[in-house]
C-alpha cells in the first residue's frame, strides 16, 4: 500500500501537492488508473484512483474510505526535552511515530540544551514516519513548552516522570512497564541530558505525577524516550499467554 498525506482532502477529488505528486508519478512511476491511499492524519483512510498523472499536480478520485482506521488502543503524550543535536531528537520523533504516540511536547527545562525549537523540519519527519508505517493518525506536535506550564495544566490520565535522582515521594520509583495498565491515557516526561532539576521533580509531584524508572542503565534522552514509548506499546498490544501443549 502506498500512503500519501492529504490533511485538507475533501472528496470526491483531490490534487496532491507538488512534492507528493512528484513522488507518486516520477519516483513510483504510477499512472492513470493506478490506486493509491491517502490519509487526512485524523484517522480516515481513503482509497483513490489516479485520474490525472501530472508530476506537479497529480489528481485522484476517491473510490472508498474507512474512518477510524486502526486507532491506537491508548493515548500517549511524550513530553521530552529536545536534544542539543537536532538529528537525535528527530530520530526519536520518527521511531516513536512508527511505534505509536498521540502527542509530542518538546519541553523547555531548567537544564535544557536547546531553548529554541523550530517545528517545521520535525513536522516533516513525523509525516514521513506516519506514511512509512501506514498509519492514518498523525501525532500532534506542540510548540516548545516551558516545564512549569506543562505540568500545571490539568490532565485526566496518568502522569509519569522519569528521572535519575533519588525518589522524592514516599511511594518511590516504579519500573515503568510494571506500573502501566492497558488502554490508559498517559503523559510521560523525559528530561535533558543533565536530567530534571530536583525542583522540577517536586513541582511535577505536586501536580499528580508519579516517579518512574526505565531500568538500571543510564540512557540518553532520545533512548529513554523511545524506551518509554515501546514499553507503553507492549503493555497495550501483548497477547494473552497460551500454555504450551502437553505431549505426554
5 pLDDT higher than 80: yes
Contact 89/126 with Cβ under 8 angstroms? Answer: no
> Which tens digits make up the pLDDT trace of 74-114?
999 999 999 999 999 999 999 999 999 999 999 999 999 88
176 pLDDT higher than 60: yes
Count, residues in the chain: 248
> Which tens digits make up the pLDDT trace of 202-245?
999 999 999 999 998 889 999 999 999 999 999 998 655 555 55
Contact 231/176 with Cβ under 8 angstroms? Answer: yes
246 pLDDT higher than 80: no
| Structural fold of domain 3-66 | Ribosomal Protein L25; Chain P (2.40.240)
- DSSP of 62-106, one letter per residue? EEEEESS-S--SSEEEEEEPPPSSHHHHHHHHHHHHHH--SEEEE
Residue ranges of alpha helices (H) inside 100-187 are 119-132, 147-151, 176-179
Q: Do domains 3-66 and 75-237 have the same CATH topology?
A: no
For residue 244, what pLDDT is reported? 53
For residue 185, what pLDDT is reported? 96
Domain boundaries, the chain: 3-66, 75-237
> Which tens digits make up the pLDDT trace of 105-131?
999 999 998 888 989 999 999 999 999
The superfamily in CATH containing domain 75-237 is: SPOUT methyltransferase, trefoil knot domain (3.40.1280.10)
Contacts of 122 (CB under 8 A, 6+ apart): 89, 90, 93, 104, 106, 141
Contact 130/138 with Cβ under 8 angstroms? Answer: yes
E-strand stretches of the chain: 3-5, 13-15, 35-39, 45-52, 59-66, 75-80, 103-108, 140-141, 145-146, 158-162, 174-175, 185-190, 210-213
Amino acid at each position: 500500500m502506498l500512503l500519501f498525506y492529504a490533511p485538507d482532502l475533501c472528496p470526491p477529488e483531490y490534487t496532491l501537492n507538488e512534492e507528493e505528486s512528484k513522488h507518486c508519478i516520477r519516483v513510483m512511476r504510477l499512472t492513470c488508473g493506478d490506486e493509491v491511499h491517502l490519509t487526512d492524519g485524523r484517522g480516515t483512510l481513503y482509497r483513490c484512483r489516479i485520474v490525472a498523472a501530472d508530476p506537479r499536480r497529480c489528481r485522484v478520485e476517491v473510490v472508498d474510505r474507512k474512518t477510524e482506521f486502526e486507532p491506537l488502543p491508548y493515548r500517549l503524550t511524550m513530553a521530552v526535552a529536545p536534544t542539543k543535536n537536532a538529528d537525535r531528537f528527530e530520530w526519536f520523533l520518527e521511531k516513536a511515530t512508527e511505534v505509536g504516540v498521540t502527542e509530542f511536547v518538546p519541553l523547555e527545562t531548567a537544564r535544557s540544551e536547546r531553548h529554541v525549537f523550530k517545528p517545521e523540519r520535525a513536522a516533516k519527519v513525523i509525516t514521513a514516519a506516519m506514511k512509512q508505517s501506514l498509519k492514518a493518525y498523525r501525532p500532534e506536535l506542540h510548540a516548545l513548552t516551558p516545564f512549569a506550564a506543562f505540568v500545571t495544566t490539568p490532565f485526566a490520565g496518568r502522569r509519569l516522570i522519569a528521572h535519575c535522582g533519588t525518589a522524592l515521594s514516599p511511594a518511590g520509583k516504579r519500573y515503568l512497564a510494571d506500573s502501566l495498565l492497558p488502554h490508559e491515557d498517559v503523559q510521560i516526561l523525559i528530561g535533558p541530558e543533565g536530567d530534571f532539576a530536583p525542583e522540577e521533580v517536586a513541582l511535577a509531584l505536586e501536580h499528580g505525577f508519579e516517579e518512574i524508572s526505565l531500568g538500571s542503565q543510564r540512557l540518553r534522552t532520545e533512548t529513554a524516550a523511545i524506551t518509554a514509548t515501546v514499553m507503553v506499546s507492549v503493555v497495550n498490544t501483548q497477547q494473552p499467554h497460551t500454555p504450551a501443549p502437553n505431549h505426554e
